[in-house]
Amino acid sequence: MSCCEECRCDGGIDFTKIPVTELYGSNCFSNAVMRERLPKNIYREVVAVQNGEKELSLEVADVVAASMREWAIARGASHFTHLFQPLTGLTAEKHDSFIAPAGDGKVLMEFSGRELIKGEPDASSFPSGGLRATFEARGYTAWDVTSPAFLKTDPTGTTLCIPTAFISYYGQALDKKVPLLKSIDALSKQAMRVLRALGNETSRRVFTTVGPEQEYFLVDREYYNKRPDLMLTGRTVFGALPAKGQEMEDHYFGAIKERVAAFMRELNTELWRVGIPAKTQHNEVAPNQFEIAPIYVNSSAAVDSNQFVMETIRNVARRHGMEGLLHEKPFAGVNGSGKHNNWSMATDDGINLFEPGENPESNARFLLFTAAVVEAVDRYALLIRSSVATSANDHRLGANEAPPAIVSIFFGGPLTEILDNIAEGKSSGKSSAGGEIKLGVTSLPNLPKDVSDRNRTSPFAFTGNKFEFRMVGSSQSIATPNTYLNVAVAQVLSEFADKLEKASSRNEAIQTIIKESYGKHRKVVFNGNGYTDEWVREAERRGLPNVKNAVDALSVLVRSETISLFETHKVLTKEEMESRYHIYLEKYSKQINIEAGVTIELARRYIFPASSSYAGALAGEAASLAAIGANNVPQAKQAKKISDILAELYDDVAKLETVLAEAQDIEDAQAQAKAYFEKVRPAMDCVRVKVDGLEKMIAKDSWPLPGYEELLFKL
């Protein structure tokens, strides 16, 4: 094996040995690179486009493209690709080389502004939910200037990757990036109205930042390759827990094994090279579960970066003889994996709108925007719940390891007390946060920087200048959750702005808005343990929705009020919303259909033969012992018990085949998804119970699949 193949370096260079300050961003065409390489006037034009102040001209694009081409080719790139995120939730790419025939049997290396701005991949095979007919192939990618281009290297070469949006021939959004960008603009527009009404004359734009903490499992590839369920579905459809699981709590933040540490070093190197600010890494709660967390960046770049993080986890793991598992629940009985979406809002001149300040005006702004989030989360709880609705996340939400399916907000005592006092109109009262609260906005106290503790059971926790949305699944694109959240908050801010702009007294209006809004919607605030049954009952008493499955959760997307919300803010049309509803339902059904098929195949081709053979061997031993006069032979009892379970398993598999065939014949997308949830999944669970019981009865060397002991504890 060559050096490059072994250490995943370019040209014999081991990048893990280069100082991080030199390595970081070396494969990223960042603003710093553009500022250095572009003429000053062209760079200013690009920044203006990034800030939404003007559109990108072809003349500017030509200059940027030429510089980008020279930069990429100098680093070994031969191809470029427009990266986009179709509604599969994955990243798609079509590679084109830089070559152009010169007419004399030679080629030139060209890359024009038109090629930078627009690409044309085939759109016919991507899900469109009825927006496109299968024979209508034309689709377009458009450069997203807010997310930097970067170089992706592998043993086959280097490719220039250009983050883009993806639209149809008629301009409909066929991806997750277009609505995200539109939602950021919508939120910025309404937030700026509020800021102007508060007297801010310096900020020009509000943007959202995201820092997604990514959880994942690592398993030895030898065992992974012997588990068809992991390879085909991402999770184990069978698997009995070993005697030791995660109950000793010895894995969380434990010492990182050398093999995993080597993987993490290379993972960080790959991410740092393309300018992804990977910051934190540690062992998670479950055995062989880990987490990586970046520093916050603008939402558009964060979405692209997280897609690259997931891809890189898998690629680097394979180079270390492991497999990276991103499924929300790859193993039953131990914690699943999520993606904590740390979301915040900031202005272009550096004001974090969720940062308590040192004067009454900044505290009033903080409390006003915080109240807007509370109202948005309460009013649009069903929409926010739908943003994380997948078949994989159904296994995880509410499983005493992740936030429940009830959407609530955590603030902690001091901040809750301040907001409660305002809502209740208390003219005076000491706050544990410090200071005295009176009705006048100018009398609001200075707030401490850490106005809340942390609550790992809360779906939507305020953690100091940001909100941590913990319901997002580990394999999901974070684009959809952030899009829905942006739109919900934009709507509330638009209503706040209407009131502020009409008010004769700004201070009185601020006080009234916070009081009325928080007073009406504070039922969504819960500072306790979200894992308890008491909270489920309390949430029901408060009237908070508890939607436990993705099929029901997705139905909110086609309600008239939801469609009106997205059309009002020009994020998605009625047709685009309906298309997404059908795509997500279809994906839900397809995923369970695959899992059910794998369950049947494993039972028939692996479990039945191995279990029958083992029972037969036991029966043979029992017969031999009986022939020499042995009585009450345990082998005979064990063989009989295994045979009885196999008979029940045979019936359960037959039932699963029947309900699966019935679900496959249903034409209506919603009815079909409902059938997969209500009939197919329970039938799969029945099969699993029998198989997992058999695994505990059969000798390890006779069981046909690697067990949880190997998958969770051997690295």
Is pLDDT of 443 > 80?
no
Per residue in 601-629, pLDDT tens?
A: 999 999 999 999 999 999 999 889 888 88
Distances (CA, A) of 207 to 10, 31, 66, 76, 345: 36, 17, 29, 35, 6
Q: Do residues 289 and 251 touch, judged by C-beta distance below 8 A?
A: yes
The burial of 96, by beta-carbon neighbours within 10 Å (0-12 exposed, 13-18 middle, 19 or more buried), is given as middle
Per residue in 633-658, pLDDT tens?
A: 889 999 999 999 999 999 999 999 99
Is pLDDT of 427 > 50?
no
Give the CATH architecture of domain 585-713.
Answer: Up-down Bundle (1.20)
Is pLDDT of 451 > 60?
no
Per residue in 272-330, pLDDT tens?
A: 999 999 999 998 888 999 999 999 899 999 999 999 999 999 999 999 999 999 999 99
Distances (CA, A) of 62 to 66, 393, 687: 6, 44, 60
Is pLDDT of 555 > 90?
yes
Per residue in 178-197, pLDDT tens?
A: 999 999 999 999 999 999 99
Question: Per-residue pLDDT averaged across 5-20, rounded?
Answer: 61
Is pLDDT of 11 > 60?
no
Question: Residue ranges of the domains in the chain?
Answer: 18-175, 185-572, 585-713
Residue with tokens 């527009």: 189
Count Cβ neighbours within 10 Å for each residue of 48-67 and write b for 16 or more, e otherwise: ebbebeeebeeebbbbbbbb
Give the CATH architecture of domain 18-175.
Answer: Roll (3.10)
Supply the pTM of this predicted model: 0.92
Per residue in 203-238, pLDDT tens?
A: 999 999 999 999 999 999 999 999 999 999 999 999
User: For the chain, how big is the Rg over CA atoms in Å?
Assistant: 28
Is pLDDT of 62 > 70?
yes
Instruction: Return the CATH number of the domain spanning residue range 185-572.
Output: 3.30.590.10
Q: What is the pLDDT of residue 128?
A: 77
Is pLDDT of 362 > 70?
yes
Q: What is the pLDDT of residue 398?
A: 67
Question: Per-residue pLDDT averaged across 336-341, rounded?
Answer: 93
